[in-house]
Amino acid sequence: MSQSQPNHPQGRAEMIRERIVRRGAVLSLTAAAAILLSSAEAATAADVPPGAVACSGCHPARMGVDTPVPRLVGRDAAQIVAAMAEFRDGKRPSTIMDRIAKGFSDDEVKAIATWFAAQKD
């Protein structure tokens, strides 16, 4: 029996781990969207380019958050665009950003990067 099959202890553990990660990501994105959209200082939902709200599921919106994931707020748009291209092309190591970056067109990445660059603390 293969280790990837659900009946094998390691295969089952991997399935459970994947479910937890997926559910955690959905909860994080949902919570981040609620925080971003409800904040009095945040731009209105019409101003936020598609996909930008999801970024705050991992990338902190506020300073002083202890995380290895860099903030995007106020970051130079060209840096964000370059990083996304490197993730998409496999030139920058990542755990998930390579897959996320592949889901955006160049125009979407530019719009998101421009929006984050314009945000202020």
Task: Give tens-digit pLDDT for 88-101.
Answer: 999 999 999 999 99
pLDDT-wise least confident of 31-40, 52-61, 112-121? 31-40
- pLDDT at site 112: 96
- pLDDT at site 40: 40
Q: What is the Cα–Cα distance from 121 to 19, expressed in whole angstroms?
A: 34
CATH of 9-118, one of 1.10.357.140, 1.10.760.10, 3.40.50.620, 3.90.1150.10: 1.10.760.10
Task: Give tens-digit pLDDT for 46-68.
Answer: 589 999 988 988 998 888 888 88
Instruction: Flag whether pLDDT at 41 surpasses 50.
Output: no
Collect contacts of 57-63 with beta carbons under 8 A, ≥24 apart.
57/25, 57/28, 57/29, 57/31, 57/32, 57/33, 58/28, 58/96, 61/32, 61/35, 61/36, 62/121, 63/121
Instruction: Flag whether pLDDT at 3 surpasses 60.
Output: no
